[in-house]
Amino acid sequence: MGSATQAEVSGAGGAKGDSHIVVSGLTHVYRPRHGRQVTALDDINLTVGNHEFVALLGPSGCGKSTLLYLIGGFLPVEKGSISVLGEPVREPGPDRGIVFQHFALFPWKTVRANVMYGLERKGLPKREAEARAAEMIAQVGLKGFEDSYPSQLSGGMRQRAAIARTLVLDPSTLLMDEPFGALDAQTRNLMQIELLALWRRSPKAVVFVTHDVHEAVYLADRVFVMSARPGRIKAVVSTGIDRSDREFVKSRAFVEKVDEIWHLVHDQPQGPR
């Protein structure tokens, strides 16, 4: 597959419905106080459909996380535009929940207190916040660990708590920055399975940053393959995987899709690290 056409990148969100996220003509330049400026993203155009799960995939330094933080409102949009559900993105908001690679839990708070944090900031009564937190903690498989502190949990359990803290606010958009990158292979696969199960129970628009081709195909409806810096959308690939079969990772379709995308990612010069 060659470079993505404008129609492929900026067209309709696909089978999952109308456009949820629209990024148009987005360019982002880092201007450090010392040293040369760096163009991280160059003319990014993409859409994400309602309830669609997409992956951003590309070599290190291609701007995947930068794009995610721009969608989240954590960086200013200087050139181009980003809208979520028709509203321009200007700052972070509760409609966009983000999960980082390194958990970002408050170490002095228990699992329950971490998950309740956002609900309390929204002003929910304590009893309601506790009930919603308990339900979400159970959904991510941490029932019985409500009173544990992050230091007492394994890496996978800490990431479950971080996901629960984000999902308990029921954001319409879920942004995930290599959330399983620090986990061992077995725990990573388990978390991928659990994430898909959570998403099916409460569908959201998901943008998932990864550098792992297998993970991208395993999780996503579509994969946006990015070029080396400055990051551009090189190709958009629909995975078309039937995930109703638990052994789908062994299917010929899955293996061929991984191979197709692997060649797209690696058939390009690597940008400066």
Residue 151 gets the label, from left (phi > 0), alpha (psi -120 to 50) or beta, of: alpha
23 burial (CB, 10 Å; 0-12 / 13-18 / 19+) is buried
Could you read off the pLDDT of 136-154 as tens digits, one per residue? 999 999 999 999 999 999 9
pTM of the model: 0.88
Confidence of residue 101 (pLDDT cuts 50, 70, 90): confident
What secondary structure letter does DSSP report for 10? Answer: H
Question: Span 173-192, mean pLDDT?
Answer: 90
130 burial (CB, 10 Å; 0-12 / 13-18 / 19+) is middle
- Number of other CB atoms surrounding residue 184 within 10 Å: 12
What secondary structure letter does DSSP report for 34? Answer: S
Asked whether the predicted pLDDT for residue 9 surpasses 80, the reply is no
Among 95-99, 101-105, 267-271, which is the least confidently predicted range? 267-271
Could you read off the pLDDT of 24-54 as tens digits, one per residue? 999 999 988 887 889 999 999 999 999 999 9
Among 5-9, 136-140, 163-167, 180-184, which is the least confidently predicted range? 5-9
96 burial (CB, 10 Å; 0-12 / 13-18 / 19+) is buried
- 169 vs 147: CA distance, rounded Å: 20
In this prediction, residue 16 carries a pLDDT of 47
Amino acid at 196: L
Beta-sheet pairing, 96-99 with 173-177? parallel
Tokens of 35: 């040293």
Tokens of 226: 């990015």
Fold annotation for 6-95+174-266? Rossmann fold (3.40.50)
- 8 vs 238: CA distance, rounded Å: 10
Between 260 and 9, the more confident residue is: 260
Please, what's the largest Cα pairwise distance for the chain? 55
pLDDT over 90, % of the chain? 67
Segments of 7-37 assigned E as strands: 19-30
Asked whether the predicted pLDDT for residue 260 surpasses 50, the reply is yes
In this prediction, residue 15 carries a pLDDT of 41
Tokens of 230: 């400055």
Question: Span 182-200, mean pLDDT?
Answer: 89
Residue 263: helix, strand or coil by DSSP?
A: helix
Confidence of residue 128 (pLDDT cuts 50, 70, 90): very high
Rounded alpha-carbon distances, angstroms, from residue 198 to 49, 85, 163, 258: 18, 22, 10, 24
Contact 82, 26 (CB under 8 A): yes
In this prediction, residue 216 carries a pLDDT of 96
pLDDT over 70, % of the chain? 92
**CATH 3.40.50.300 domain range(s) in the chain:** 6-95+174-266
Average pLDDT score, the chain = 88
Question: Span 8-18, mean pLDDT?
Answer: 46
Could you read off the pLDDT of 207-252 as tens digits, one per residue? 999 999 999 999 999 999 999 989 999 999 999 888 877 788 888 8
Segments of 78-157 assigned E as strands: 79-84, 87-88, 96-99
Closest CA to 230 of 70, 24, 34, 29: 29
Between 251 and 110, the more confident residue is: 110
